[in-house]
Amino acid sequence: MEKSMYGRHDFTETDHAVFAEQGYLHLGQVLSAGALGDLQQRIKDIMLGCVRYKNMRLQYYDEESGKLRRTMGNEIASLSYRRIDDLEQDPLFLAYMQQELYHQITRRYIGENVAVFRSMFMNKPAYWDQTLPWHQDIGQGWGIDDNPTITIWLALDQATTANGCMQIVPGSQRHGVINEKHFLPPEKEVEYAPPQEVIDLEVAAGEAVLLHNFLLHRSGENPTPDARCAFSMTFMDADVRTLDTGQKFPVIFGRNALHPQTMGDKAEELVEKFYG
């Protein structure tokens, strides 16, 4: 993607102040209509098997059984994939991830050498009747030696209250890690997520939001006839390793960073196990 395909290019001191206080920041429209359409089409091409990656992990939603199952690479031509990971190995998505605005943000909060913990497509299908409870994007289950603190979430479709958009508790990141097991215990909801402090994070297609990983969030059902899709990427210091094998993660900015023109399949040792 060319630079003109992106929206804003600067992360300001005002942006930093709002993010530090609230734990989230609307970044606005970060893609032109054409660039957004390219990413939307690329996801469809991956789901339908028109574009394939050997070491890309997908999660398939079987509409007949109502169950989810993981696949390595595209095994079924379907638009019912619930989740697709490892998208940094796709040149189009990698170029989006490496835009100047995100470079400025990661340099400010992480440093010069930045890896991506996960880069994933999420699909909340039409008439989806499951909810995601209150949680922070951290914890023991992530299997790494430090908690990431920066996530950038891109709406590929409009996210509204009606179709189960994300809900957040502004400022809740200041509590630090509430529960190392990821989810907020139900008995703690009144204390940490009182209803009067909860807001719906409505976002137009092509808009992005910067999120602190300690920010409490959840999402609801999608009772509408249209799917709601998004792309989320979590950044961290390139020196962060897995606890079991000491592996590092793909570098996005800094030394040995991936490049859209030379990126090959993701290393097999990085897809043998899910972290996070």
3-class secondary-structure state, position 175: helix
Contacts 24+ apart (CB under 8 A), 194-200: 197/169, 197/170, 197/171, 198/167, 198/168, 198/169, 199/167, 199/168, 199/169, 199/170, 200/160, 200/161, 200/165, 200/166, 200/167
Contacts 24+ apart (CB under 8 A), 67-73: 72/271
| Residue partners of 262: CB distance under 8 A and separation at least 6 | none
**What is the number of structural domains in the chain?**
1
Q: For residues 36 and 29, what is the distance between their CA atoms, to the nearest angstrom?
A: 10
Q: How far apart are the first and last CA of the chain?
A: 29
In a domain, 143, yes or no: yes
DSSP secondary structure string for all residues of 35-91: HHHHHHHHHHHHHTTSS--TT-EEEEEETTTTEEEEEES--S--S-EEEE--GGGSH
In a domain, 155, yes or no: yes
Q: Which residue matches tokens 């942006």?
A: 15
Encode the chain (276 residues) as per-residue pLDDT tens digits: 555 667 677 999 999 999 999 999 999 999 999 999 999 999 999 999 999 998 999 998 887 787 888 888 888 898 889 999 999 999 999 999 999 999 999 999 999 999 999 999 999 988 988 899 999 999 888 899 999 999 999 999 999 999 999 999 999 999 999 988 889 999 999 999 999 999 999 999 999 999 999 999 999 999 999 999 999 999 999 999 999 999 999 999 999 999 988 887 888 887 888 877
Q: What is the pLDDT of residues 80-135, one digit of tens each?
A: 899 999 999 999 999 999 999 999 999 999 999 999 999 999 999 889 888 999 99
In a domain, 31, yes or no: yes
| Residue partners of 42: CB distance under 8 A and separation at least 6 | 51, 90, 92, 93
Q: For residues 241 and 260, what is the distance between their CA atoms, to the nearest angstrom?
A: 24
Domain of 178, CATH number, reads 2.60.120.620
CB 156 within 8 A of CB 195: no
In a domain, 59, yes or no: no
Q: What is the pTM of this model?
A: 0.94
In a domain, 67, yes or no: no
Residue-number span of the structural domain to which 178 is assigned:
7-45+86-256
Q: Which residue matches tokens 């914890």?
A: 139
Q: For residues 223 and 130, what is the distance between their CA atoms, to the nearest angstrom?
A: 10
Closest CA to 20 of 200, 166, 215: 215
CB 126 within 8 A of CB 226: yes
In a domain, 232, yes or no: yes
Tokens of 271: 């897809």
CB 75 within 8 A of CB 46: no
In a domain, 129, yes or no: yes
| pLDDT at res. 271 | 83
Q: For residues 31 and 60, what is the distance between their CA atoms, to the nearest angstrom?
A: 28
- CA–CA distance from 125 to each of 122, 166, 257 (Å)? 9, 15, 34
In a domain, 54, yes or no: no
